[in-house]
Amino acid sequence: MFNVSASHAVGLVAGLVALPVALIVLRFYPRWRLAPFTVRAATVLMAVTGAVHLALIAHHLRTQPVTSILFLGNGIAFLSLAAAFSWRWWRLASAAMLISTVLGYLFYVGVGLEGPDQVGLATKLVEVTALGLVLVPVRGEPGRPHRSWRWASLGVAMPLLIVMTGATVWIVDLARPDARHVHAGALLQATNAFPTQQQWDAANSLYRETKAAILKYQDWHEAWAAGYRPGGSTTLPSTHWMNQDFVKAGYVMDPHRPQGLVYGNSRHGPVLLGAMFQMQHINQFGPDPGGPLTAWHQHENICFTPLGFEFSFLTPFATCPFGAIDLSVPPMLHVWIVDNPKGGPFAVDIDPSVVAAVDRG
């Protein structure tokens, strides 16, 4: 959702190129200067989205010929509408075209024919903006402008389309993450697909060493004495305790000096669940002795608030709740010393049922 798909990058380039070209070309139209600002802006935006659709045809031609034909139809229709801004039925035709294109994209994303990405989302934002501009009534319009109807449809259609787009894209992204996104916001390190015997041995060795080194922290007082402090709310099922000295020192996967410890917050006090190694910088993945078994992960697009050290996820429209900031966290690797049946000892997350069992125990 937050990546630009390699096959769609050409669409982004085409859209950016189309913007100045449309601004220049449309100036030569005789009625351009007489058109209201909103009409001119909508025209340019429709030329941009038309160019994006046309640029995507080539890539989809072999694998999705029907999609290519639809892109061609969309592209030609948008460019034609951009050129026909003085046509009597221009507003009606443009609104219908824009709404059907956004709904068509949502259908494609919803049934899995297309993956949500930044080019798709950006194009939908352009189209929704163009729709708003098409619907805005202008003073001195000829004929019957149906002003109240248009204001009402603007107030309903635009927010509705934005919410529908955001919700569909988000649900699809959460339900069908790509291979390197194990859960929302966590990007896995690229590794070989299947571990070799050597990697199995290295992973087992790392697990044994780390478990032996951190067992002393089962008593949380020892962890406190060593400099670990809760890095978030202790009312949540589990909390990462961080040692800022080890974070700053930049020890790399040192079993005796893990940057963090993870404690389950049971009713009997903190229960040690595992350790966490963390790198110092974003996009700097650590050594990976166990291949796919010990792949690091980086949390991206988190909305973090210093209030209670809490977080939520960035929306598909790249916005955070008021008071939270969008950030990414340097790569990390967990070593769970309690049984984690769903993901194993190096999983990104610990199974919530394990934490619940710890709490009951």
Partner 1 sequence: MLVLMQATLWAIAGLSALPFVLGGERFMFALGLASLLLALFTCLLAIGLLWRRRWARRWGIRFEITCVTASLLLLAVPIGANRGPVSLMVNILLPLAVVGLLRGKRMRAAFAR
155 binds partner 1 (CB under 8 A): yes
Torsion angle of the four alpha carbons 196, 198, 202, 205, in this order, in degrees rounded to the nearest 10: 120
132 binds partner 1 (CB under 8 A): yes
What's at 266, amino acid-wise?
S
286 binds partner 1 (CB under 8 A): no
Residue (86 or 328) nearer to partner 1, CB: 328
We find the least distance from the C-beta atom of residue 36 to partner 1, in angstroms, to be 13
Nearest to 289 by CA among 248, 335, 240, 243: 335
Q: How many CB atoms lie within 10 A of CB 285?
A: 19
CA–CA separation, 187 vs 206, rounded Å?
22
Residue (79 or 128) nearer to partner 1, CB: 128
154 binds partner 1 (CB under 8 A): yes
Residue (40 or 207) nearer to partner 1, CB: 40
For 108-122, give one letter per residue: b (16+ CB within 10 A) or e: bbeeeebbbbbbbbb
Residue (42 or 206) nearer to partner 1, CB: 42
Instruction: Give backbone dihedrals phi and psi of 77, rounded to 5 degrees, phi first.
Output: -60, -45
Q: How many CB atoms lie within 10 A of CB 192?
A: 11
Residue (221 or 248) nearer to partner 1, CB: 248
We find the least distance from the C-beta atom of residue 234 to partner 1, in angstroms, to be 10
Residue 117's contacts (CB-CB under 8 Å, 6 or more residues apart) are 1, 3, 4, 5, 8
Binding string, residues 185-224; x marks residues near partner 1 by CB under 8 A = ----------------------------------------
Contact region with partner 1 (CB under 8 A), list: 91-99, 155-163, 202-210, 270-278:
155-163
Using CB under 8 A as the binding rule, the residues of this chain from 39 to 98 that contact partner 1 are none
Residue (62 or 267) nearer to partner 1, CB: 267
β-sheet bridge partners, residue 271: 264
We find the least distance from the C-beta atom of residue 312 to partner 1, in angstroms, to be 5
- Number of H helices and E strands in the chain, helices first, is 11, 11
β-sheet bridge partners, residue 327: 302
136 binds partner 1 (CB under 8 A): yes
Using CB under 8 A as the binding rule, the residues of this chain from 102 to 121 that contact partner 1 are 118-119, 121
CA–CA separation, 322 vs 325, rounded Å?
8
280 binds partner 1 (CB under 8 A): no
Using CB under 8 A as the binding rule, the residues of this chain from 6 to 25 that contact partner 1 are 12
Binding string, residues 291-330; x marks residues near partner 1 by CB under 8 A = ---------xx-x-x-xx-xxxxxxxxxxxxxxxxxxxx-
- Whole-angstrom CA distances from 258 to 237, 277, 337 are 21, 5, 13
- Which residues make up the interface to partner 1 (CB under 8 A)? 2-4, 12, 38, 118-119, 121-122, 125, 128-129, 132-133, 136, 154-155, 158-159, 162-163, 166, 233, 235-237, 282, 300-301, 303, 305, 307-308, 310-329
